[in-house]
């Protein structure tokens, strides 16, 4: 069977997939688009072989997953695509209803850490689909990620907007990792050459896409609401490496996630040998 590969359906992963799709860099595989949460469920269930997953989910399934090295979605401060949209100043949200998008567990935990540790508040959280109008009918604030968050940033708004990458950096001084590329451990053990080929294809796609970002951004701007300048600013905030500095930031996040009961243990990073 051809390898089954996950593909996050947000713009933030475009540099890692653009050349795979446009220039046949990837070996013969099947690509499956879904939300980060949806992809993780399918990977753990054995429906996918390799996929990006929310960073928090690696901690929850580290016994079954192994990581592709030097592949992640990260930021060193502002990220733009993970935001809190609030009717009130953020420090006034204690005990207030707060809608969490159901598309990424990492962002849910990040919001809870920041609100509890930085602002010393505990809103009344509930989870729901990512529809800002519906969310704010029932809540005083909402967590948005991905393209929905970008659209909220791109439009004029009377609401308060808080970038959680910026909030995390300001509070901890650390970089933040949102998604990792994981392989089912069993698949990696049985198919080392295939995994190596797929890893190298991702690296080639990342390098070529970043070299041609101006052209890619121009194409995106033709069918999205975002201007080229907005997209250039957005992609300049994103990082796609997973070096020691990003690993340190993720370890800090895991430690704080454990403190609030979001995970049981802080995992070690185990990587595929390539």
* Domains present along the chain, CATH in parentheses: 4-74+177-259 (3.40.190.10), 82-172 (3.40.190.10)
In a 3-state reduction of DSSP, which class is residue 253?
Answer: helix
Answer whether residue 24 shows pLDDT above 70. no
Q: pLDDT digit string (tens) for 108-149?
A: 999 999 999 999 999 999 999 999 999 999 999 999 999 999
Answer whether residue 230 shows pLDDT above 60. yes
Mean pLDDT of the chain, nearest integer: 93
- Distance in angstroms (rounded) separating the CA atoms of residues 214 and 108: 32
Instruction: With residue 160 as reference, give the H or E element that holds it.
Output: strand 160-163
Mean predicted confidence (pLDDT) in 207-217: 88
Answer whether residue 165 shows pLDDT above 60. yes
- Distance in angstroms (rounded) separating the CA atoms of residues 8 and 11: 8
For a pLDDT cut of 90, what percent of the chain falls above it? 75
Instruction: With residue 31 as reference, give the H or E element that holds it.
Output: strand 30-34
pLDDT attached to residue 133 = 93
Look at the block and give the residue holding tokens 């580290």.
Answer: 62
pLDDT attached to residue 22 = 62
Residue 102: what are its φ and ψ, rounded to 5°?
-95, 15
Residue 94, both tokens: 């204690």
- Whether pTM > 0.85 for this model: the answer is yes
Answer whether residue 26 shows pLDDT above 90. no
In a 3-state reduction of DSSP, which class is residue 7?
Answer: strand
- Distance in angstroms (rounded) separating the CA atoms of residues 73 and 240: 5
pLDDT attached to residue 224 = 83
pLDDT attached to residue 27 = 67
HSE toward the beta carbon, residue 253, CA cutoff 13 A: 32
């Amino acid at each position: 069977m051809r390898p089954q590969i996950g593909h996050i359906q947000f713009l933030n992963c475009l540099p890692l997939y653009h050349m795979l799709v446009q220039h046949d860099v990837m070996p013969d595989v099947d690509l499956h688009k879904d939300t980060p949460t949806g992809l993780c469920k399918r990977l753990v269930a054995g429906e996918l072989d390799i996929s990006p997953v929310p960073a928090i989910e690696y901690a929850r399934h580290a016994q079954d997953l192994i990581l592709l090295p030097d592949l992640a979605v990260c930021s060193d401060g502002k990220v733009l695509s993970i935001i809190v949209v609030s009717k009130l100043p953020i420090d006034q949200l204690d005990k207030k209803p707060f809608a969490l998008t159901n598309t990424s567990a990492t962002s849910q935990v990040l919001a809870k850490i920041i609100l509890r540790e930085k602002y010393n508040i505990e809103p009344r959280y509930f989870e729901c689909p990512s529809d800002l109008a519906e969310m704010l009918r029932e809540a005083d604030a909402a967590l948005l990620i991905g393209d929905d968050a970008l659209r909220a940033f791109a439009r004029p708004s009377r609401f308060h907007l808080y970038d959680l990458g910026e909030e995390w950096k300001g509070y901890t001084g650390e970089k933040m990792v949102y998604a990792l590329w994981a392989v089912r451990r069993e698949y990696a053990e049985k198919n080392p050459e295939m995994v190596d080929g797929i890893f190298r294809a991702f690296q080639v796609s990342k390098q070529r896409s970043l070299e041609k970002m101006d052209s890619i951004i121009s194409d995106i701007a033709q069918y999205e609401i975002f201007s080229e300048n907005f997209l250039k600013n957005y992609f300049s905030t994103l990082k796609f490496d997973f070096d020691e500095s990003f690993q340190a930031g993720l370890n800090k996040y895991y430690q704080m996630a454990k403190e609030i009961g979001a995970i049981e243990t802080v995992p070690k990073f185990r990587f595929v040998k390539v």
